[in-house]
Amino acid sequence: MTTESPRWFTSSYSNNGGNCVEAAANLASSHGVVPVRDSKQHDHGPVVAFPTTAWAAFVTALKR
């Protein structure tokens, strides 16, 4: 059995100023969550996992 690893990405709207978050949307369909972390801390900081429905609502609100 293999464990799927998060594939982290930063928004294309980020200006690389260091105050960004990274998300791993590749886990949404297989695990039902979207992990999010601080881009400055990478592997050292905490990860918050949002349910896919909450993440979708957040992204929809941002687009408005």
Note whether residue 1 is domain-resident: no
> What DSSP designation does 26 have?
G
- pTM comes to 0.77
11-62 pLDDT tens trace = 777 776 667 889 999 999 989 999 999 887 766 789 999 999 999 999 999 8
The per-residue pLDDT for 16 is: 64
In terms of Cα–Cα distance, which of 46, 47, 39, 41 is closest to 22? 39
Average model confidence (pLDDT) across the chain:
85
Note whether residue 53 is domain-resident: yes
Amino acid making up residue 3: T
- What is the extent of the structural domain holding 59? 9-63
Note whether residue 28 is domain-resident: yes
Going through the chain in order, the beta strands assigned E by DSSP cover 9-10, 21-23, 33-38, 47-51
Note whether residue 3 is domain-resident: no
Length of the chain: 64
The percent of residues above 90 in pLDDT, for the chain, comes to 41
Q: State the total domains in the chain.
A: 1
